[in-house]
Chains A and B, each alone.
Chain A
Amino acid sequence: MKLTLKIWRQKNAKSEGKIVEYPIDGIDGDMSFLEMLDILNDGLINKGDEPVAFDHDCREGICGMCSLFINGEAHGPDRGVTTCQLHMRMFKDGDTIFIEPFRAKAFPVIRDLVVDRSSFDRIQHAGGFISVGTSGNTQDANAIPIPKHDADTAFDVASCIGCGACVASCKNASAMLFVSAKVSQFALLPQGKVEAHDRVLNMVRQMDEEGFGNCTNTGACEVECPKGISLESIARMNREYLVASVK
């Protein structure tokens, strides 16, 4: 199929960017979105132009590296997929596709479509871990009884890959879905409960310091999340934080 791509080009973090139009032909519906960009870049390199920079790594939806705001939606129009899992059959011949970087103050553009998501790392460093020694005398995991529902929910929220689609989709560039997934993942399990209060206070403080917006419960994040993290985890974080604040 034949497409018109409108891609955000920006030389580096300091320069001004702009949307540049690229026509592309011979795209197959079975290609992934990133393969399509590979083809575009091959063409650009052959012509001696600068290829479009974009993040990617595993290309199987588990690493959280690929991003892209495609036609007004994070990871494109499909549901429950990352950009690398997005098939070109989601588009029609002759379509115009806008491809932009994830936009947020806390996600500054480094180049073209690549943004710096290290703010997520700093939030994780603020509390997204368990500080117990696990070397040597680790307890057998099966020796700690955990309710099935809690284990399942913890597993569901742990599937967050930290891609930042929630921030990109939110009209307030809020990171609440990401932070709440990380808070929930630990708060639901006995090993994490010990530090649950400090964790939620510290992670939210870091989130605020990074300049993310506030949650207005539009629910855009849970719709666009490639891993289906639900607003329920934001509510859990709100509860955890409320209890931790008044203690």
Chain B
Amino acid sequence: MAKSALLKSSLAKKYWMALTGLFLCLFLAGHLAGNLQLIFGDALQFNQYAVFMTTNPAVKLLSYVTYISIVFHAIDGILLTIQNRKARPIGYAKENPSANSHWASRNMAILGSLILIFIITHMVNFWAVMHFDENMPLQTTTIDIAGQKQEFYLTTDGGYLPKIQVEQKAVLIKNRTEFFDAAANVKLKDGYKDLHKITFDYFQDAKYGLIATIMYVLAMFVLAFHLLHGFASAFQSLGVNHPKYNGFIRVFGKGFAILVPLLFATIPVYIHFFAK
């Protein structure tokens, strides 16, 4: 009884929806803090952060919880929506929903679906490139040596590797980031995957940069509306509703729902319109 109650019942679905939703809010806060380095940090800092995020075991574990949360939140949401549609097979001829509820609260499924589409395109554009793209560029820098500009790869030990060595095939790049001495077949150093460049190129692209920026900002509007209802709603689903705390939850939830998407949206806007 108790076991099936925690998996199948209508209330249990809401608990899982709330728990995964709140975890994804935490993820958003963390992701935002990292991404703001695109504005406030330099390319190396951001790329070092990207290495940390893809290699640290604790972050890896959290990332798996995030993937599972997204999938679970979406599947649970779809199941709930199907059940809810079935609960009223014949609708009303005349409805006046705005008299008793907010638009966002009634359209969480649509908002959520749009966010899911955004997450998929977002992961294809950045996450998949970072994880799987064989041709992902490595970070380079130009150094002026005795009046001659030379390009170097930045390496994880804080050093440099002349790009010309790679161009002349004296050094080979293996496993996407490892520099190998071609003759001795010995690993020399590691480079940085240039996620910073990928991001800037994406939003500064002459043809598609503007539309990408606009789409990103629109997606953040959708996210804001989803959070405007979702944040406080999660607490209600978990039974946290008390006159003492409701005010704080509501105000904090609204602040979170507006501030987080707003700050996310400033990043592509900054990259497209203001960054070099």
A232–B232 CA distance with the chains assembled, in angstroms: 13
Pick from B165-173, B205-213, B233-241 the stretch touching chain A.
B233-241
B6 touches A98 (CB 8 A): no
Say which size band chain B's interface belongs to. Answer: 35 or more
Residues from chain B with a CB closer than 8 A to the CB of A240 are: 239
Asked, given contacts A207-B10, A212-B87, whether A223 binds B100 with beta carbons under 8 Å apart, the answer is: yes
A219 touches B100 (CB 8 A): yes
Q: Which residues of B contact A (CB under 8 A)?
A: 1-2, 5-6, 9-15, 80, 83-84, 86-97, 99-102, 105-106, 108, 229, 232-233, 236-242
A103 touches B241 (CB 8 A): no
Q: Please, which residue of chain A has its CB at the minimum distance from the CB of B1?
A: A201
User: What would be 29 A-B contacts, judged by CB atoms less than 8 Å apart?
Assistant: A6-B94, A8-B93, A71-B94, A72-B94, A73-B100, A98-B92, A100-B92, A100-B94, A103-B88, A103-B90, A174-B84, A176-B10, A204-B10, A207-B10, A213-B86, A214-B84, A215-B14, A215-B237, A217-B236, A220-B100, A220-B101, A223-B99, A223-B101, A234-B236, A234-B241, A239-B239, A244-B2, A246-B2, A246-B6
Q: Which 8 pairs from chain A and chain B are nearest by CB?
A: A72-B96, A239-B239, A235-B241, A213-B87, A172-B84, A98-B94, A223-B100, A238-B239
A24–B98 CA distance with the chains assembled, in angstroms: 28
Residues from chain B with a CB closer than 8 A to the CB of A19 are: 93
What's the least CB distance linking A241 to chain B, in Å? 5
**Interface residue? A14 (CB, 8 A):** no
Q: Please, which residue of chain A has its CB at the minimum distance from the CB of B105?
A: A218
Residues from chain A with a CB closer than 8 A to the CB of B83 are: 172, 213-214
**Interface residue? A211 (CB, 8 A):** yes
A104–B2 CA distance with the chains assembled, in angstroms: 28
A105 touches B89 (CB 8 A): yes
Residues from chain B with a CB closer than 8 A to the CB of A67 are: none
A73 touches B12 (CB 8 A): no
Residues from chain A with a CB closer than 8 A to the CB of B105 are: 216-219
**Interface residue? A236 (CB, 8 A):** yes
What's the least CB distance linking B142 to chain A, in Å? 55
Asked, given contacts A235-B241, A238-B237, A242-B239, whether A211 binds B97 with beta carbons under 8 Å apart, the answer is: no
**Interface residue? A208 (CB, 8 A):** yes
| A6 CB contact (under 8 Å) in B15, B93, B108 | B93
Residues from chain B with a CB closer than 8 A to the CB of A223 are: 99-101
A141–B96 CA distance with the chains assembled, in angstroms: 45
What's the least CB distance linking A15 to chain B, in Å? 13
Asked, given contacts A105-B88, A242-B238, A245-B6, whether A214 binds B13 with beta carbons under 8 Å apart, the answer is: yes
B93 touches A211 (CB 8 A): no
| B14 CB contact (under 8 Å) in A171, A205, A224, A238 | A238
**Interface residue? A69 (CB, 8 A):** yes
**Interface residue? A106 (CB, 8 A):** yes
What does the 1/0 interface line of A111-142 toward B look like (CB < 8 Å)? 00000000000000000000000000000000
What's the least CB distance linking A106 to chain B, in Å? 7
B9 touches A205 (CB 8 A): yes
| A100 CB contact (under 8 Å) in B87, B93, B238 | B93
A169–B106 CA distance with the chains assembled, in angstroms: 12
Inter-chain pairs besides A98-B92, A232-B242, 4 sampled, C-beta below 8 Å: A8-B93, A73-B99, A211-B87, A220-B100
A190–B96 CA distance with the chains assembled, in angstroms: 41
B101 touches A241 (CB 8 A): no
**Interface residue? A80 (CB, 8 A):** no
**Interface residue? A231 (CB, 8 A):** yes
B5 touches A245 (CB 8 A): yes
Q: Please, which residue of chain A has its CB at the minimum distance from the CB of B88?
A: A173
A241 touches B99 (CB 8 A): no
B86 touches A211 (CB 8 A): yes
Residues from chain A with a CB closer than 8 A to the CB of B5 are: 201, 204-205, 241, 244-245
| B236 CB contact (under 8 Å) in A171, A231, A244 | A231
Residues from chain A with a CB closer than 8 A to the CB of B80 are: 214, 216
Residues from chain A with a CB closer than 8 A to the CB of B14 are: 214-215, 238
Among B1, B5, B10, residue most surrounded by chain A Cβ atoms (within 10 Å): B10
